């Protein structure tokens, strides 16, 4: 009998959706080899998520993929507003008749002004089925080992490694993959989570929905009045119509009786077509059903994000209603937080204690994000379906959920004590927060401080702080980590023309700000240090465990 082929690799990624592919790209950026397996033959055909927030786009900017993603989102970007009508034919696409209660114009203006100030990136309305192929192509071009139509059938772990059995569903051949660590990005029903017996804490449910993805030529009907969503109230066909490209691709969300035993099998192509034609109500409309996807608009968070050498990200550990568009974005940000820590462990630069900070940091963020998505669901499209009319949350809540939270863990030194909340939004270089964005000049070109982050640690140094570049070189060699040092000021490496260093970072000419590879401030000092090398050595000894 032939023995199974054995592949040894630092990281095995289970799941090739948005979170898994992002994890692959972030690991690649940190020079960590991996194998990614995905049970399906190709990336998602269903649109699923329809938008990436500005924080996620900052991360894709880091990977050099932001422009490609912006391109594919051009068509969906035209659609504005959420409306309610008896049928689509009867809808009045007038901004004054938007379904969701309008926020004060000044508040909205202030929101967008703040967004422009805090980030070099912008949110993009692009569907998941178009984003994933871009990520997959980039991962392959960058040397990744990605195996689609390959399924995890079993695994076990000990103190040294994870040993997984995988099945090539095309050839029927089994293989063993031995990895230092495993990332489970295998979705809401996560087989890995179930194998580990990790429970999900259910906070709330907004009902069970059938998402019908279909093709219908409505371009001439909606041209010049493109929309994002329309809540249809017609009896027997009530649901929410979501624009995918405002031409011929659409999704229709209808509630179904899960408790009464209804499943996707009850939604035949004929039934789906009848419901859609009744909801749109345009004569002779040809409707082609592309796929049908059942899902629950639930609020759930896993009790654990890590079990020994296995880490879970994305929908495998948190589920939330789609309102607010937080779900997919939170998964990508999980991957970004985890990747540099795994890289430090794989490269023997950190102890297992650093890896424990993944759950310590990301689980509280997931809990806050899930709760906010639930609040938006109760005041947005789901409230329209439920005939609720509470006031919608502030637009600044979106900024806080996207990037305004802060981490508390052993990977952040000298803890701040204020918990993440939706009380106010502020990015001022506080410990545990995403480093502020300011524009400046670096090597003769316009550059954001965020463009300097991502590859190793970054030490931002005030112009009058001395000895830190030599200290960083020494500590880098001692600990086996990359530390890039930039003096900031009118005559610094990073030329700060508008005094953003003092304002955005609340910094002085002698200030030192240390930023982790994931862009979060982990240590800072405002005073003159007599022995920079000794101080920095102590800092990294604590950070890396």
Least confident of 84-93, 190-199, 439-448: 84-93
Question: pLDDT tens-digit profile of 282-303?
Answer: 999 999 999 999 988 889 999 9
pLDDT of residue 421: 54
Question: pLDDT tens-digit profile of 210-243?
Answer: 999 999 999 999 988 888 899 999 999 999 999 9
What kind of architecture, by CATH, is found in domain 5-74+121-199+302-403?
3-Layer(bba) Sandwich (3.50)
178: exposed, middle or buried (Cβ count in 10 Å: 0-12, 13-18, 19+): middle
In the chain, ranges of CATH 3.40.30.120 domains: 439-543
Pairing of strands 445-448, 306-307: unpaired
């568009």: which residue's tokens? 325
Band of pLDDT at residue 93, cut at 50, 70 and 90 = confident
- Nearest residue to 264 (alpha-carbon basis) of 51, 46, 43: 46
CA dihedral 334, 317, 327, 378 (to 10 degrees): -140
Least confident of 93-102, 122-131, 270-279: 93-102
Phi first, then psi: give them for residue 14, nearest 5 degrees: -105, 110
The per-residue pLDDT of the chain, averaged, comes to 90
Q: For the domain with range 439-543, which CATH number is right: 2.30.42.10, 3.30.300.20, 3.40.30.120, 3.30.930.10?
A: 3.40.30.120
**Does the predicted TM-score (pTM) go above 0.95?**
no
Is a pLDDT exceeding 50 seen at residue 392? no
Q: Specify whether the CB–CB gap between 342 and 334 falls below 8 A.
A: no
Is a pLDDT exceeding 80 seen at residue 100? no
- Give kind and range of the element (H or E) at residue 279: helix 269-280
- Give kind and range of the element (H or E) at residue 301: strand 288-302
Phi first, then psi: give them for residue 474, nearest 5 degrees: -65, -50
Whole-angstrom CA distances from 141 to 8, 137, 474 are 21, 6, 34
Band of pLDDT at residue 86, cut at 50, 70 and 90 = very high
Please tell me the distance from the alpha carbon of residue 77 to that of residue 505, in angstroms, as a whole number: 33
Number of H helices, E strands in the chain: 16, 22
């297992």: which residue's tokens? 352
> Tokens representing 316?
């495998």
Average pLDDT over residues 36-45: 96
Question: pLDDT tens-digit profile of 249-273?
Answer: 999 999 998 888 888 889 999 999 9
Please tell me the distance from the alpha carbon of residue 49 to that of residue 322, in angstroms, as a whole number: 8
Question: pLDDT tens-digit profile of 333-356?
Answer: 999 999 999 999 999 999 999 999
Q: Specify whether the CB–CB gap between 19 and 314 falls below 8 A.
A: yes
Please tell me the distance from the alpha carbon of residue 77 to that of residue 56, in angstroms, as a whole number: 17
In the chain, ranges of CATH 3.50.50.60 domains: 5-74+121-199+302-403
Sequence-distant (6+) residues with CB within 8 A of 55 are 119, 121, 329, 333, 402, 403, 434
Please tell me the distance from the alpha carbon of residue 126 to that of residue 211, in angstroms, as a whole number: 17
């Amino acid at each position: 009998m032939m023995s199974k082929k054995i592949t040894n690799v630092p990281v095995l990624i289970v799941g090739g959706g948005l979170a898994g592919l992002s994890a692959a790209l972030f690991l690649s950026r940190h020079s960590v080899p991996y194998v990614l397996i995905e049970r399906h033959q190709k990336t998602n055909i269903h649109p699923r998520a329809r938008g990436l927030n500005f924080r996620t786009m900052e991360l894709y900017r880091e990977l050099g993929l932001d422009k490609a993603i912006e391109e594919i989102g051009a068509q969906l970007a035209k659609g504005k507003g959420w409306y309610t009508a008896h049928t689509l034919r009867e809808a009045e696409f007038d901004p004054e008749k938007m379904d969701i209660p309008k926020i004060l114009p000044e508040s909205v203006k202030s929101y967008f002004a703040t967004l422009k100030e805090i980030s070099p990136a912008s949110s993009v309305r692009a569907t998941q089925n178009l984003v994933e192929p871009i990520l997959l192509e980039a991962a392959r071009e960058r040397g990744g080992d990605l195996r689609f139509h390959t399924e995890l059938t079993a695994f076990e772990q000990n103190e040294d490694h994870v040993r997984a059995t995988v099945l090539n569903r095309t050839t029927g051949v089994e293989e063993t993959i031995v990895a230092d660590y495993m990332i489970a990005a295998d979705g809401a029903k996560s087989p890995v989570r179930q194998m580990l017996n990790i429970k999900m804490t259910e906070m709330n449910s907004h009902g069970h929905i059938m998402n019908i993805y279909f093709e219908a030529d409505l371009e001439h009907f909606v041209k010049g009045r493109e929309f994002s969503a329309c809540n249809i109230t017609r009896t027997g066909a009530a649901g929410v119509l979501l624009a995918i490209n405002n031409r011929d691709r659409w999704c229709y969300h209808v509630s179904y009786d899960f408790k009464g035993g209804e499943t996707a099998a009850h939604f035949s192509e004929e039934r789906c077509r009848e419901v859609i034609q009744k909801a749109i109500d345009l004569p002779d409309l040809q409707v082609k059903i592309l796929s049908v996807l059942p899902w629950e608009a639930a609020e759930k968070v896993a009790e654990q994000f890590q079990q020994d050498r296995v880490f879970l990200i994305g929908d495998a550990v948190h589920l939330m209603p789609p309102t607010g568009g937080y779900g997919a974005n939170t998964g990508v940000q999980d991957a970004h937080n985890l990747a540099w820590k795994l890289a430090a462990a794989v490269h023997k630069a950190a102890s297992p204690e650093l890896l424990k900070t993944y759950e310590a940091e990301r689980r509280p963020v997931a809990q806050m994000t899930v709760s906010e998505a639930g609040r938006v669901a109760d005041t947005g499209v789901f409230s329209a379906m439920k005939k609720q009319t509470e006031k919608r949350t502030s637009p600044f809540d979106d900024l806080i959920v996207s990037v305004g939270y802060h981490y508390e863990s052993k990977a952040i030194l000298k803890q701040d004590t204020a918990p993440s909340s939706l009380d106010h939004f502020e990015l001022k270089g506080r410990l545990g927060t995403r480093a502020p964005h300011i524009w400046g000049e670096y090597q003769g070109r316009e550059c954001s401080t965020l463009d300097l982050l991502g590859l190793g640690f970054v030490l931002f140094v005030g112009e009058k702080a001395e000895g830190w570049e030599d200290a960083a070189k020494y500590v880098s060699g001692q600990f086996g980590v990359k530390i890039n040092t930039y003096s900031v000021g009118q005559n610094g490496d990073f030329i700060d023309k508008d005094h953003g260093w003092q304002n955005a970072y609340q910094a002085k000419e002698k200030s030192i700000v240390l930023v982790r590879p994931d862009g979060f401030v982990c240590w800072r000092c405002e005073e003159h240090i007599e022995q920079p090398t000794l101080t920095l050595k102590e800092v990294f000894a604590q950070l890396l465990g």
